Structure 1
Amino acid sequence: MSRRRRGLWVVAGIAATAVLLCCGLGGAVALSGLFDQQDTPAVNLSGCGQKLRAYRDLPAVSGYTDAQRSRAYDIVKAGIKLKVPPRGWVIAVATALQESGLKVYANDNPSYPLVKAHSMALPHDAVGHDHDSVGLFQQRPKPPEGAGGWGTVKELMDPTTSAEKFYRKLLSTSGWQQDPLTIAAQAVQGSAYPDAYAKWESDATNLVNALTGGAARTAANASGARSVGTCAANGQIAASGWVQPVKAPISSGFGPRGGFVHYGVDLAAPRGADIRAAAGGLVITAECEPSTGDCDRDGSASTPGCGWYVEIRHADGVDTRYCHMVSRPVVHVGQTVAAGTVLGHVGMSGNADGPHLHFEVHLRNDLSSNGAIDPVPFMRDKGVPLGRS
């Protein structure tokens, strides 16, 4: 436990928290008959997900039109066909959200007239064309002389074909399942605005979950469309891009504690256990707190501060904090880390009366108490429930 920077007190709590069940869904559910087409392979999402509804019965997703949901459906379908793990579906949908708003034509109407650009007759996509880029992913067509490009205009204006081309490039990128979404998407797209993909990660996750009954909560490192596998287990990265920071029971939860507020949860991992980045992002803090304190020794309930700690800035305005490391963090400020990267090791520096990780989640890039939320439901929604030993 800790008295953290910015004057936020964290007070001891001993109440045990019940072990959380994976995703709250039980049993193996096969995604056979995913689509109306007969050639679509079955996908096994044991413990997470349900059968994707028929095209005509697409579930509603708040904030998105029928046309946009159908384009997300096309992207997921293409990923299943190519046996891409669900993490790839999330990355692809987020990329299409940024590039085209999940629309192919103006008003998503295939009859919209062609426009002239760079001496080529190109369909005008929903948000205007960038030079000669078209389609869901704003891919550049092959020029008349035949050198370069992603394919013909006709191919790139077809959602399934353009998605398949995106996936093939993604699959050839080393480490894409662990990388922050922005890095994975940028490795495919080569965008002039690579950071823009970050703001769509939550929406893409929600769309994939809605269309598949929770596939973004499955393990991202599963391989093969016939064994996309299970809800993310201990230490596995979910398709949402998140992983447990440590595998340990919760010893103190989020909320009021004897007149103060505990702005995170304590995970009772043993001394020396690896502390991992809960998602890909940028290290913005790696220091001893308070700065005048001695973090290279065990603290106590009366010792101030987080001790050795790390803060990471993730996509979509989310920050995480990791307190009470046994020694100096093994990462540094300005370092980009992947989900699961070791940040340091469990100890009891700072305001701690026993070895544990104090873990916090903050929204809106607000690391004060105003931005703090309960990490338990947040992580459960990402597919990596806290509290499992």
Structure 2
Amino acid sequence: MNQKAVTGAAAGVALILLMFGAIVVLPMSLFAGIASASCVGRGPGVGAGVGAGGDPDSKWNAQQRDHALAIISAGIEQKVPPRGWVIALATAMQESALKMYANDNPAYPRVREISLSLPHDAVGHDHDSVGLFQQRPIEGDGGWGTVKELMTASISATKFYRALMQVDGWQTMPVSEAAQAVQRSAFPDAYAKWETDAKTLAVEIVGADTIEAIGGLGSTFASCGPGSFPAVPPGAEGWVNPMHGTKYDLVSPYGPRGGALHAGVDLSGADIRGKPIYAAADGEVTVAVCNASNGNCNVDGSPSIGGCGWYVDIRHAGGIATRYCHMLERPYVQTGQQVKAGTVIGIVGSSGNSSGPHLHFQIHVGLGSDDYPHNGNAIDPVPFLAAAGAPL
């Protein structure tokens, strides 16, 4: 995210969410020689510098940068030094151009069936290879893992790193040799041409000047919490835009959608992942949980997954409630906590039933003491907040 959290390389922390289901935090002492840094949104997400959300001058689009952040995050989780990130990124650039590949090769019907049913950016047909690293799954003739695992960026990257770390002397090998020791490609010299691009993308995502400036991996991990962001003062009516200060578009309005009620609004933008979400008014937190149907909110969701992911409900005076869905990580508030309007309650992500980073925001009215928010008491947040002096 672009929100500045710290100034100076020796202070604060930067955070990355690993899609494999863990939160990984980079201590800022890790970035020796870096003048400043920001909190890092998770992968797929944004980095400490321009982030994975999209640098207009980058040759990689937002989805490719999301995959790159997932690869870096997996490396951090495995305590792989930055040289390993470069090798992994160069490998994925060569194998897939940082695209998540399905495979439609009719010679491998099970791989074809599964891979095409999973989220993907492109379709290939090289043997039974899938994913960012073109690894061969057990449903075909390979042994890297299941198709689903290999088409999950963080898991496939973790498998790559574990294989790399079994290679004696990989840290001092040329990129092409280290990558080839893992991949055993028919084109062993092809990885070398991606080394510069891999270094450039890695330093963009973590916000360093050079890959050498990142240094080694520290062992102290701590979280960037709500203190990374200033509170927002409410308007005259006591209400706040929950995405105050963030550039976004209202990409899906309240109303019928796909034969059902879309009971809120979706707010999204090119650089929205990891941005702060604010309590829209004073109230009590009644829900702060993960309800993704797959049980894991620490990965990006998909339309095939049910639930809000990490989400928060807040009960306000006058029988009003607000709901904030698809957060990137565990909310910054707890059930029963009293919050003020403008308090940071979490950050934008894509957990649960979600096709990309956004805030799904709902307002519910007419609730009695024992009522709960549901479609029957949801209203359109746009006119409500406009009337309350906090327009979306």
TM-score (norm 1): 0.45
**Greater RCO, 1 or 2 (C-alpha within 8 Å, sep 6+):** 1
